[in-house]
Amino acid sequence: MSRSQHQYILVTLSYWGFTLTDGALRMLVVLYFHQLGYSPFAVASLFLFYELFGMVTNLFGGWLAARTGLSITLHIGLSLQLMALGMLLVDPAWLSVIYVMAAQALSGIAKDLNKMSAKSSIKLLLPDNAQGKLYHWVALLTGSKNTLKGAGFFIGALLLSSLGFRGAILVLFLGLMLVCIASFLLLDRSMGKSQYQPKFRELLSKSAAINRLSAVRFFLFGSRDIWFVVALPVYLQSELGWDYSAVGSLLALWIIAYGGVQALAPKLTQTGRQNNPCGKTALQWILPLCLVPAAIATALHYSLASGATILIIGLAIYGILFAINSSLHSYLIIAYAQRDGVALDLGFYYMANAAGRLIGTLLSGLIYQWQGLEACLLMASGFVALGCMLSRGLAKHRVHSQEQEPTATSL
């Protein structure tokens, strides 16, 4: 086994360990506070700081990683997640909304430091002319992460029912501590440290391709969360009469399947070693995605089938297309990024990703409360349409094997 493969496996295992605890923690918080009588929108608000601080972390975390190294920021992320879990081990009487939001803020910082570090490291573990292998490694890491996040939902629910809230948190804390210790002992500590020390004013990307791809990512993930985060589970509960375990199981299975499709994206897009994805590929795959939420809304409005049937079929089609788009974009940002200081470019990109999730989460609750699920779906299609327009500019940006991508005036 080569050194790069060894380090890739260590990074992936650390990322997997973190992702399991993150998914389990999210489900624990959702189920526990729902049991206490919080409304769905109030439960969703507990994650407001999670997304907000994640957005800020991506911007500054890339700068920090470029100066200190990716293994440092990865271990900071693992440590902050341990702190967040530790905060939730207190007496349940202390678990006010503000207190849990603060713990979730730490968890959000931890998640985005860990994700940015793990994905940036792949760029450095492969030579510039190995774009086909880069696509496969990125797709595998991204897809497996989401599959394990869905598995974490199941683990969180199982631990809550068998051990209670504090017992479940303690199990997650001890498991993640083992992951953190192993990662600290085995990972290359110099990985990702830039030879050129970037200035603080260089946080914003100067690459036209990265700026445009980041804008597409904002609308892509905003569109998903507009109907998926609050509107869909509330609709399933209030309109279709599903109990909470059924709703949680559907969302967990969707995320697991979604991660599986992401991992298979290189095969599904029929990309060979001499025909790696480019901006044109991203445009071709985002166009059909634009139509799916609007089609689901139309089918629900005219009652073309039962609501459950429409949503399950719609979720399946949407999930396949969304997963492929997400995997393509995850590859393109790493391919577009400069090798020296890759974390800066990825930090900027994932800041846009977190901003899209934040706006999508807020709009999901507001639009559903105002006009219902169909309006959320139409707004989601509108967001994807804006992403399509921006993706047209990506078609002229091809991935090169040079160490540094050409830069242009920021959008």
Q: Which helix (H) or strand (E) holds 159?
A: helix 131-186
pLDDT value for 405: 38
The ranges assigned to domains in the chain are 3-193+200-394
Q: Which of 55, 175, 43, 164 is nearest to 105 (CA)?
A: 55
The pLDDT tens digits along the chain (411 residues) read: 566 667 767 777 888 888 888 888 888 887 788 778 777 667 767 777 887 887 788 777 766 766 677 778 888 889 999 999 999 999 888 888 889 888 988 988 888 888 777 777 776 666 666 667 777 778 887 788 778 888 888 888 788 888 888 999 999 999 999 988 988 887 776 665 555 555 545 555 567 788 889 999 999 999 999 998 778 888 887 888 887 667 778 888 898 898 889 888 888 886 555 567 787 888 899 999 999 999 999 999 998 889 999 999 999 999 999 999 998 998 888 888 776 656 677 778 888 888 898 899 888 888 988 889 999 999 999 999 999 999 887 766 555 544 333 333 233
Q: Are 209 and 405 in contact (CB under 8 A)?
A: yes
Q: What is the pLDDT of residue 172?
A: 94
192 φψ region: left (φ > 0), alpha (ψ -120 to 50), beta (else)? left
303: region left, alpha or beta (phi > 0 left; psi from -120 to 50 alpha): left
Pick the CATH number of 3-193+200-394 from 3.20.20.70, 3.30.200.20, 1.20.1250.20, 2.60.120.510: 1.20.1250.20
In one-letter notation, the amino acid at residue 170 is: L
Question: What pLDDT does 97 receive?
Answer: 81
Q: Which residues contact 315 (CB under 8 A, 6 or more apart)?
A: 250, 254
Question: pTM for this one?
Answer: 0.77
Q: Which residues of 256-284 are buried (b: 16+ CB within 10 A; e: fewer)?
A: bbbbbbbbbbbebbebeeeebbbbebbbe
Cβ neighbours of 35 (radius 10 Å): 11
